[in-house]
Structure 1
Amino acid sequence: MSIPSSLSLIVEVKRKRQEAEDIVTFELADPHGRPLPAFSAGAHVDVQVKEGVVRQYSLCNHPEERDRYLIGVLRDPTSRGGSIAMHDEIQEGDLIQISAPKNHFPLAHHTKRSLLLAGGIGVTPILCMAERLAHTDADFAMHYCTRSASRTAFLERIRQGEFADRVHFHFDDGDASQKLDLEALVATPDPDTQVYVCGPTGFIDAVMTTCKAKGWDSHQLHTEYFAGAVADTADDESFEVKIASSGATFTIPKDKTVHQVLEENGIEIMVSCEQGVCGTCLTRVLEGEPEHRDLYLEDHEHAANDQFTPCCSRSKSKTLVLDL
């Protein structure tokens, strides 16, 4: 696996803390005490967890802080090597390699109101947004859904924070009165409100489906996925990929990705999440029609068919010509 060249920062794990059941936070800082690159609410960093394993983690501290980055990591039982290694192998005092902050989930400018919806560990970028909005005295409300109070990261930080009165907690094991009534919450589209959603795929999809059914404009809806969708591969077929610069053509069998085949043939594409979430491997398509399976590009970008994610997406046409 290729390591993204963007991993340009060395940081020290200053503090590792158990935030909730199966959730640990890591406070990262420059080993020499120098300021870290600035970031905006919703940003994330790539983290080289270990050799060959790079994962993305949202920054969840106040975006005006320059002395540290704070990330939260859920111990995922279906981990592909990232979250379990973060929990079990990364310790206080360790030096790790990360990228400068990137933001594919920014707050919209010049909006009158924001509605923040977090599911589980999806609270990390949402919390940073709430910190920023509260600091600028903006109008917002935050709804935080988890399985139980014991699995709710940053519970006390939020309850004791300056925007505690704008946060609504919804626990799966609580009584019916405190469950999230999504239908009622988004019942009436408000053109002055922007909606931000982060969490498990099912949570995000439920919010998006409900909002769109109620008539919310897609430009008001903003999402950040942590994991790719599970694709139905039963009907996958082989296709060809042609490299524009050399004319070389490679067959992509039904059981391999474009990235895997190209890597086997010495053609490197930077990849990270391998699930179509982070956009690291985004590649320009010159000819052909991709079959998009990512959660990174927006609908209008999919429709343009001029780029795709070779880590997971495939082809509807017999051949894709790539700008490589």
Structure 2
Amino acid sequence: MEQTFTVVVRAVEEAADGVRTLWLARDDEGALPGWEPGAHIDLLLADGLERQYSLCGDPADLSAWRVAVLREPESRGGSAYVHERLAAGDTLQVRGPRNEFPLEGAERHLFIAGGIGITPLLPMIAALHARGADWRIVYGGRQRVSMAFLGELEQYDDRVTLWPQDELGLIDLPGLLDEPRTGTRVYCCGPGVLIDAVEAACAAWPAGSLHVERFRPKDGALDGPTTTFEVHLEASDLTLTVPADRSIAEVVEEAGVEIFTSCREGTCGTCETGVLKGVPDHRDSLLTEDEKAENDVMMICCSRSKTPLLVLDL
């Protein structure tokens, strides 16, 4: 089980128009858990709110974590809480870090960021730059004033291409991605419409070239038939019925088995569970198609079953 602990908001900064940065430190002044580029943490906010934010500071500095939070116009409560209620000196519970978006080695790296999607990519490009690796990033946003961390990116000179939409229109994905390139890994994070377009543009690229992280489920990912099935929890020696209107996670929790969940929509990876028998009906927006085909893990917050029985490692 992942550790949940208390942190203090050491500082609050405005990183751009609508983007607030939090610096978080342990309340006991000890070292924070280590992390690698691509990791995120869960913030356990008031009123039962849990939200995931990418760590965007320096992995070598375990005295404080940095996260950046976009003020969503249609906030479900998380970003509004951070922007309107959190202040320096406040304490909150956090869980993690967890990394479902790791930086993998390659001859070259191409990063495509949209808006707040710059956050998990910042530590990646810093790590690659320190190694003298071959990389570049294209960073798009509505306008320059809404694009966070522009000052930090200046140090990388022409490896960074800024693409404000009000000045240049949409990012030229055909120009970036029409020609598949072996030895290049593409990392993309940002709004769903950008990720969908990048996935389509990379369809002809070698398998495994594209890595994405979503803040929201793919369109239609949570849709599909909802039938009743059974789950057997191997370690707990329990067999439970999952009705059509309940998730596996809800039924497992109701049975008194401790699990961690956060997003409840298949994007964060908190509830990833081993599958010992049966075929999951994967409805998450996190696992790759190859990982889904292996059927050895599933996200029990949203995915269901294609077989009458699933045996889970719980």
What TM-score do the two structures reach when normalised by structure 2?
0.90
Distance 1:283 1:41, change over 3 A: closer
Quote the offset at 1:75 in angstroms. Answer: 1.8
Q: What is the rounded CA distance, in whole Å, between the counterparts of 1:232 and 1:102 in structure 2? A: 22
Aligned to 1:320: 310
Q: What is the rounded CA distance, in whole Å, between the counterparts of 1:232 and 1:64 in structure 2? A: 36
- The secondary structure found in structure 2 opposite 1:170 is strand
Contact 1:239 1:317 in 2 (8 A): no
1:183 and 2:174 aligned: yes
1:134 and 2:129 aligned: yes
Contact 1:281 1:311 in 2 (8 A): yes
Aligned to 1:224: 213
Structure 2 residues not aligned, in runs of 5+: none
Aligned to 1:166: 159
Contact 2:190 2:214 in 1 (8 A): yes
Aligned to 2:26: 30
1:286 and 2:276 aligned: yes
Residue type at the aligned position of 2:148: A
Quote the offset at 1:99 in angstroms. Answer: 3.0
Residue type at the aligned position of 2:145: S
Quote the offset at 1:21 in angstroms. Answer: 2.3
- The secondary structure found in structure 1 opposite 2:98 is coil
Of 71-80 and 241-250, the range deviating more from structure 2: 241-250
Quote the offset at 1:53 in angstroms. Answer: 2.6
Cα distance per residue 1:28-53 (max 9 Å; x no partner): 12345444333222222222223533
Cα distance per residue 1:222-265 (max 9 Å; x no partner): 11122222437675232212324445331422x33222233334
Q: What is the rounded CA distance, in whole Å, between the counterparts of 1:117 and 1:7 in structure 2? A: 32
Q: What is the rounded CA distance, in whole Å, between the counterparts of 1:37 and 1:306 in structure 2? A: 28
CA RMSD of the aligned region, Å? 2.2
Distance 1:68 1:239, change over 3 A: same
Of 18-27 and 94-103, the range deviating more from structure 2: 94-103
Contact 2:218 2:285 in 1 (8 A): yes
Contact 1:63 1:132 in 2 (8 A): no
Quote the offset at 1:126 in angstroms. Answer: 0.9
Aligned length: 312
Distance 1:226 1:232, change over 3 A: closer
Quote the offset at 1:289 in angstroms. Answer: 2.1
Residue type at the aligned position of 2:118: V
Aligned to 2:196: 205
Aligned to 1:299: 289
Aligned to 1:272: 262
Aligned-residue sequence identity (percent) comes to: 38
Aligned to 1:152: 147
- The secondary structure found in structure 1 opposite 2:290 is helix
- The secondary structure found in structure 2 opposite 1:312 is coil
Contact 1:239 1:319 in 2 (8 A): no
Given the alignment, which residue of 205, 226, 231 partners 1:237? 226
Contact 1:257 1:310 in 2 (8 A): yes
Contact 2:221 2:284 in 1 (8 A): no
Structure 1 residues not aligned, in runs of 5+: none
What TM-score do the two structures reach when normalised by structure 1?
0.87
- The secondary structure found in structure 2 opposite 1:173 is helix
Distance 1:233 1:216, change over 3 A: closer
Q: What is the rounded CA distance, in whole Å, between the counterparts of 2:177 and 2:138 in structure 1? A: 12
Quote the offset at 1:303 in angstroms. Answer: 0.8
Cα distance per residue 1:55-111 (max 9 Å; x no partner): 2211112333233211011122343332222222221111222234332222213x2
Given the alignment, which residue of 113, 121, 131 partners 2:108? 113
Contact 2:277 2:311 in 1 (8 A): yes
Distance 1:72 1:188, change over 3 A: same
Cα distance per residue 1:156-195 (max 9 Å; x no partner): 3323xx213211111221145xx42111111222212111
- The secondary structure found in structure 2 opposite 1:174 is helix
Contact 1:120 1:152 in 2 (8 A): yes
